[in-house]
Amino acid sequence: MTEVSLSKTPNPQLLPRCCRLGCATLRISVLINNQVVGVGSGSTIVYAVDRLAERVRQEKLNIVCVPTSFQARQLILKHGLSLSDLDRHPELDVAIDGADEVDASLTLIKGGGGCLTQEKIVAGCAKHFIVIADYRKDSKALGQQWKKGVPVEVIPIAYVPVSRAIARRFGGEAVLRMAVSKAGPVVTDNSNFILDWKFEHAQNWKEVNTAIKMIPGVVETGLFVGMAERVYFGMEDGSVKIRDPPVN
């Protein structure tokens, strides 16, 4: 398996900035060469790509990167990494991404940054899906830490019926995500809308994910069930905690 490891940051001066950004100690070391790497989205992944680019430069590694969003694409280009796509590289060796919340079984909520659909596609094409997150994302059960709900990407004309169907069938409320520096809703990289489903209680996330996806107009959900192979949590004290899926 591709080996991915995180260690304490060797530079204490980096710590306050990392803390502010919610990535207290994250420092990724990806021991890979001649591999196709899926690059996730969000603020945490920036640290991983910084490190990856450093390794590529120093060790002259041959890495091809597949982005999960416009942001990831820009990140890859900014670091001078080799950019590809799923047309040319439909099979990835590893995908690395952040998460909004991780429960005890490694079920994830993703999509706080609105990139859930491409993130799930890229992760699904990877032999290994690795998540990096800070300690605040670590949770026993979904909803304990992340209070903004499960993102659901929808075709714009369907957002009202989908919202009603989710609330009727699973409880809670599915709210259209509004943009901050633009009038109107957030529009995803795929030109869709996002509903944030504020659920009321823990559910069978595998079943719920499948059921929501069956509602006409739903593109994808931010529930990543049975996908993550390992999660690295950067802890407040600078250590790194690793979680693997429970053995059934």
Ligand X SMILES: O=C(CO)[C@H](O)[C@H](O)COP(=O)(O)O
Q: Which stretch binds ligand X (CB under 6 A): 9-17, 38-46, 153-161, 202-210?
A: 38-46
Residue from 38, 67, 112, 234 in contact with ligand X (CB under 6 A): 112
Are 221 and 116 in contact by the 8 Å Cβ rule? The answer is: yes
Binding mask 68-107 for ligand X (x = CB under 6 A): -----------------------------xxxx-------
Binding of ligand X at residue 188 (CB under 6 A)?
no
CA 34, 121, 103, 73 torsion-angle sign: positive
Is 44 a binding residue for ligand X by CB under 6 A? The answer is: yes
Strands (E), 60-198: 63-67, 82-83, 92-97, 101-102, 108-109, 126-134, 150-154, 173-176, 193-198
The answer to whether 38 contacts ligand X (rule: CB under 6 A) is: no
Q: How far apart are the first and last CA of the chain?
A: 21
- Helices (H) then strands (E): counts for the chain: 6, 16
Residue 99 or 247 with smaller CB distance to ligand X: 99
Q: Indicate which single residue of 24, 26, 42, 228 sits in contact with ligand X (rule: CB under 6 A).
A: 42
Q: Is 119 a catalytic residue?
A: yes
Residues in contact with ligand X by CB under 6 A are 22, 40-44, 97-100, 110-116, 119
